[in-house]
């Protein structure tokens, strides 16, 4: 594997106070301030509920595992060990959507014509439901999924009920802003939904976005304007919905720019990790961002020389405390997933097209790599029932 060490990566950490003040529940520990930085905290005493207060959804009994879900160009599937045990056929494009419900019972994805493909993990049956869904799918506890419907509705569907129809989960009215664009859902998980909206005349690259967290029936909480001139397209919430991570891309031209990743915790603080080489002609972009069921967020980072073909494969990094660093051992992949100790799944980029958002899914154990499926753009681990 090649290691893009010739593009030096430096990290700058910036803490910003958001407009919400909260404390983490006992089960969720907030991020610590990095040395030499300052963090403004709220007043003592009782604090209002945060849009990132943690919740958990226990998986129901009867699920085998650990299993691996994947989304490929022609199907979604479930893998047990190195065998594909269930599929649902369809045409799928790469996206940032989640793949499995929070109880682990269903794998789901939207097709190119915005229909809903599902796999019931228990009976291993795949199906396509003739239900139009929005351009981004998230989860809402149990077997429920959510999407956004213009102008102001979060829609919900319970996949455990074959006869269920979409219902309005919540009406969300963002603050009125002149020249504001249409809101869009970028991620939903663990009881939190995050919306993005361009508020004002957009840049030539389509941004910047202002983000809002929606949690419960209260008013949405502004998370501030993203520090990028292009829209936020890659984001993840922690499994309990208590923290948010999202990628930034600061375009400097049609084919170049620099990447950053932001993490927001339940105290209302943000950490911005700027990923920028010292060479202004070096470009960087976060290809994929995922948040494992345990541990910190991970991402795949691509780097290139502006105006030249991308010669290096994406490399996996991880947010750890007050820094961002390559995972150990160094790994070139679009995405990884720890299935069991010593065993992991990887999406390996095609060597003749590092800019492609999909690659070959393989199962890795020790020095062995067993091919599973090609043209895969996303994977997710489904944990076994307790």
**Predicted pLDDT of residue 42:** 32
Give the Cβ contact number of residue 127 at 10 Å: 12
The backbone region for 76, taken as left when phi is positive above 0, alpha when psi lies in -120 to 50, beta otherwise, is beta
Given a contact cutoff of 8 angstroms between Cβ atoms, the answer to whether 253 and 281 are in contact is no
Size of the chain, expressed as the number of residues it contains: 386
pLDDT of 123 higher than 60: yes
Q: What is the pTM of this model?
A: 0.83
**Predicted pLDDT of residue 322:** 79
pLDDT tens digits, residue range 240-284? 898 999 999 999 988 899 999 999 875 567 889 987 666 788 999
**Predicted pLDDT of residue 312:** 86
d(C-alpha 188, C-alpha 172), whole Å = 14
- The upper half-sphere exposure of residue 278, i.e. CA atoms within 13 Å in the direction of its Cβ, equals 3
Region 323-347 average pLDDT: 93
**Predicted pLDDT of residue 11:** 37
In three state form, how does the secondary structure of 88-125 look? Answer: EECCCCCCCCCCECCCCCEEEEECCCCCEEEEECCCCE
d(C-alpha 156, C-alpha 201), whole Å = 32
- The upper half-sphere exposure of residue 308, i.e. CA atoms within 13 Å in the direction of its Cβ, equals 11
The mean pLDDT value of the chain amounts to 84
**Predicted pLDDT of residue 34:** 33
Region 309-329 average pLDDT: 87
Region 369-384 average pLDDT: 95
Region 342-352 average pLDDT: 91
pLDDT tens digits, residue range 71-86? 999 999 999 999 999 9
Which of the residue ranges 5-9, 52-56, 129-133 has the most confident prediction, judged by mean pLDDT? 129-133
d(C-alpha 16, C-alpha 34), whole Å = 12
The model's confidence at residue 12, banded by pLDDT at 50, 70 and 90, is very low
- Pick from 102, 118, 109: nearest CA to 159: 118
Q: Between 352 and 109, name the one with better pLDDT.
A: 109
Q: Helices (DSSP H) in the chain: which residue ranges?
A: none
**Predicted pLDDT of residue 64:** 52
Given a contact cutoff of 8 angstroms between Cβ atoms, the answer to whether 361 and 376 are in contact is yes
Relative to beta strand 343-349, strand 335-340 is: antiparallel
pLDDT tens digits, residue range 153-189? 999 999 999 999 999 999 999 999 999 999 999 999 9
**Predicted pLDDT of residue 355:** 82
268 to each of 51, 272, 322, 325, how far by Cα in Å? 10, 13, 16, 24
pLDDT of 18 higher than 50: no
């Amino acid at each position: 594997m090649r290691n893009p060490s010739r593009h030096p990566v430096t990290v700058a950490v910036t803490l910003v106070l958001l407009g919400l003040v909260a404390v983490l529940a006992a089960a969720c520990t907030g991020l610590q301030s990095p040395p030499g930085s300052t963090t403004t905290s709220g007043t003592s005493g009782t604090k209002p509920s945060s849009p990132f207060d943690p919740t958990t959804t226990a998986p129901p009994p009867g699920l085998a595992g650990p299993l691996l879900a994947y989304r490929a160009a022609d199907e979604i599937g479930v893998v047990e060990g190195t065998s594909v045990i269930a599929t649902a056929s369809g045409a799928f494009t790469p996206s940032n959507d989640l793949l499995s419900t929070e109880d682990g019972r269903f794998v789901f994805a939207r097709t190119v014509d915005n229909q809903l493909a599902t796999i019931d993990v228990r009976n291993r049956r795949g199906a396509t439901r003739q239900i139009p869904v929005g351009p981004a799918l998230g989860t809402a506890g149990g077997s429920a999924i959510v999407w956004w419907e213009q102008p102001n509705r979060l829609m919900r569907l319970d996949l455990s009920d074959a006869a269920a129809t979409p219902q309005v989960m919540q009406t969300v009215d963002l603050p009125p802003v002149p020249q504001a664009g249409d809101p869009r859902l970028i991620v939903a998980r663990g009881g939190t939904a995050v919306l993005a909206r361009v508020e004002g005349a957009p840049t030539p690259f389509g941004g910047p976005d202002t983000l809002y967290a929606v949690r419960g029936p209260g008013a949405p909480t502004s998370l501030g304007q993203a520090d990028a001139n292009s829209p936020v397209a890659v984001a993840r919430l922690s499994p309990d919905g208590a923290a948010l991570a999202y990628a930034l891309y600061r375009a400097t031209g049609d084919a170049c720019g620099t990447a950053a990743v932001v993490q927001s915790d339940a105290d209302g603080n943000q950490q911005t990790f700027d990923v920028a080489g010292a060479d202004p002609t070096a470009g960087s972009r976060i290809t994929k961002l995922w948040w494992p069921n345990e541990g910190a967020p991970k991402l795949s980072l691509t780097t290139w020389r502006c105006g030249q073909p991308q010669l290096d494969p994406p490399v996996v990094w991880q947010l750890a405390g007050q820094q961002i660093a390559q995972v150990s051992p160094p790994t070139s992949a679009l995405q990884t997933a720890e299935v069991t100790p010593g065993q992991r799944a990887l999406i390996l980029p095609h060597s003749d097209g590092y800019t492609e958002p999909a690659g070959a899914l393989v199962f890795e154990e020790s020095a062995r790599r067993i091919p599973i499926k090609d043209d895969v753009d996303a994977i997710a681990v489904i944990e076994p029932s307790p």
